[in-house]
Structure 1
């Protein structure tokens, strides 16, 4: 026979004796009646090595109390350390404070907004060890019903999932209830790209009007840099004679108000890039426009340009030049699509765009790779035709012999 389950299940109440002391399990009304509520008690090891009694009550039936006791013992058997008094609010607050030590300030600010404005108000009072997939699904449903956008909602749920994954790693939870949450996928953004004629027209308009940001847009178009990376360029990272520059920083906004220099988006983003003669000329012109400053592009006081100003000014120039409205980031897409349409190998474009993986390049620009499919099919056909021609030549030679 197996060992009996540890712990005990019993009924107790809140009645008190004449001295005001709680009777608990000693109340005479408990015998043979439905008086009181069910409780379990069990000795469990603690972090200091001592065994302490965990007693939890308020269950409507013996079955409920036994199920709760069984869950506690199962957690103990699998090495999960439970704290059934810790709420989601307590856990997320502690998690956020810990993540702030390793994440970018911009990421921490975004997580902080999701945690304090969305997750804690909706799930904060729920105990961490009782959080279920149903809680998460209900949260998603309520958010969608209130008109929350799918992009923001996906990021919010991803934040919760990241926090709960850490709880699983720390042996606080047996599984992550948010891992397989179903959130509607937003429509895939299809970047709008200018043609080379349109891009050339835009740059020509900027230079003809001697726009102060003309060289910035010239560099983004000519290198495929992200907007934040271009705004964070320092002169000591640029080597004009060698036609190269090192991407060391990116400019980000905390809560859309405070510009800050952080590391680039991915590990592959922090690397050397090549500079064309046209880009070198733009940098030389910018040095003459703003001499004696550390940042290549800055305000008069030397502080970084605000990303929202750069975008707003770009839209003004685009309208004035009579061109379709696009994002500044779409200038990066223009650089990539121009290389693709010029039959530059995908591996070279991957390096030039500094994506994290080659699959990222394929995913973003896969819809533009039809010529690659045709080229591949032509290669196979040409190989077969060459083999047939060689065999035919060999057959004719044999017949002649």
Structure 2
């Protein structure tokens, strides 16, 4: 695969046929432009010739031909006409088999609305670090937040990493591009007293058992809404997380839990057992009222007719009840945060909290929920102060005993 370099022009003969390399004016070094042609390897064994022209000098043509050789020698696919947009759309198509629907939807939004409008027309093989830096600058100018830009970069970086792994590119142009500085706001979950106030306020509300289960188990919203009675074993006080529901463009999609580690079992307190028993009784009354029209999907928490609850409705109801209870508005996911914080504050070891929340690593639990609440901070400070006070008291006692010994009359010693 050596290739050849030649000079040609766009002159035509009297029949309007291109003269190409046969133009007599090519004897003049300033006439025409330089091109190269090279045969590329193909899967079917047939010859595939790549021709590129329009180079001002022979040296430029040689340099481009050399790049083609380097890519072929590295087993990297050569397609200098594919754009970033074309590649990303194809990449999304491949990802639909491995990503969860909501994740795929988020990736698609970033590709079509944030990446392709700005760098989509650039040839994939010509994408450089500087292009991605300019993309970040443009997103900042548009008023996009640091969190959004970080997510956009993560999607682009992932797509280009796949291109490198699949021998489509030699390097990842987004690998070393840094997003703007961002520090996630520290969220303060409710205290135990506020949680008790909320549960007391919503007593008798149809969704009260659902919210109490969120607080008392640390389950995610999608996991609770997809929970079925066959997953709940009240005799042995455990429930199994097997499914989760998400809302993708208005369509409820049931799939696997968030991570592999999320699919596991959770222990239930006697309080939670009572909540589930109350929910079963309430649901039995609704089933009897609806009769044959009841949609029995075996869901623990459902609409009055048995149909699945929509996540957005549950969130709106939670905020409405929080407001009437006079409590600060928090996310539904903060109830999971609350469960973790209360366990940690009451001496439950971090590894056990991590297992209860079904995190894949203890470090995730520590990063997400290991921060100090004011109560925990005061308790820790008091414990440290108590140790220092005890050590100081012991030191004073030893000194007093030593002085007493030194002051005794010699005859008494």
What TM-score results when the alignment is normalised by the length of structure 1? 0.87
Q: Shift of the alpha carbon at 1:364?
A: 1.2
Give the secondary structure class of the aligned counterpart of 1:311.
helix
1:147 aligns to 2:128 (yes or no): no
Aligned to 1:238: 232
Aligned to 1:109: 105
Q: Shift of the alpha carbon at 1:37?
A: 2.3
Aligned to 1:280: 273
Aligned to 1:253: 247
Q: Shift of the alpha carbon at 1:367?
A: 2.4
CA RMSD of aligned residues (A): 2.6
Q: Shift of the alpha carbon at 1:35?
A: 2.6
- On the 8 A contact 2:261/2:359 being kept in 1, the answer is yes
Give the secondary structure class of the aligned counterpart of 1:290.
helix
Give CA-to-partner distance per residue, 1:55-110, whole Å, 9 cap, x none.
11122333322221111101111111211122222222221111112221112222
Which of 179, 191, 197 pairs up with 1:195? 191
Aligned to 1:74: 70
Instruction: Show structure 1 runs of 5+ residues with no match.
Output: 383-401
Stretch deviating more after TM superposition (90-99 or 261-270):
90-99
Q: Shift of the alpha carbon at 1:276?
A: 0.8
Aligned to 1:322: 326
Residue pairs, 1:212-231, within 5 angstroms:
212-231=206-225
Q: Distance in 2 between matches of 1:312 and 1:290?
A: 22
Q: Distance in 1 between matches of 2:380 and 2:43?
A: 60
In the superposition, relative to structure 1, how do residues 295 and 185 fare at CA in structure 2: closer, same or farther (>3 Å)?
Answer: farther
Q: Distance in 1 between matches of 2:34 and 2:370?
A: 61
Q: Shift of the alpha carbon at 1:27?
A: 2.0
Instruction: Show structure 2 runs of 5+ residues with no match.
Output: 288-295, 391-413
Q: Shift of the alpha carbon at 1:137?
A: 1.3
- On the 8 A contact 2:341/2:370 being kept in 1, the answer is no
1:119 aligns to 2:112 (yes or no): no
- Larger Cα-atom Rg: 2
Residue pairs, 1:388-399, within 5 angstroms:
none
Aligned to 1:395: none
Q: Distance in 1 between matches of 2:153 and 2:61?
A: 32
Give the secondary structure class of the aligned counterpart of 2:370.
helix
- On the 8 A contact 1:151/1:185 being kept in 2, the answer is no
Residue pairs, 1:250-399, within 5 angstroms:
250-255=244-249, 257-291=250-284, 293=296, 294-368=298-372
What TM-score results when the alignment is normalised by the length of structure 2? 0.85
Q: Shift of the alpha carbon at 1:117?
A: 2.3
Q: Shift of the alpha carbon at 1:373?
A: 10
Q: Shift of the alpha carbon at 1:328?
A: 1.1
Q: Distance in 2 between matches of 1:377 and 1:134?
A: 54
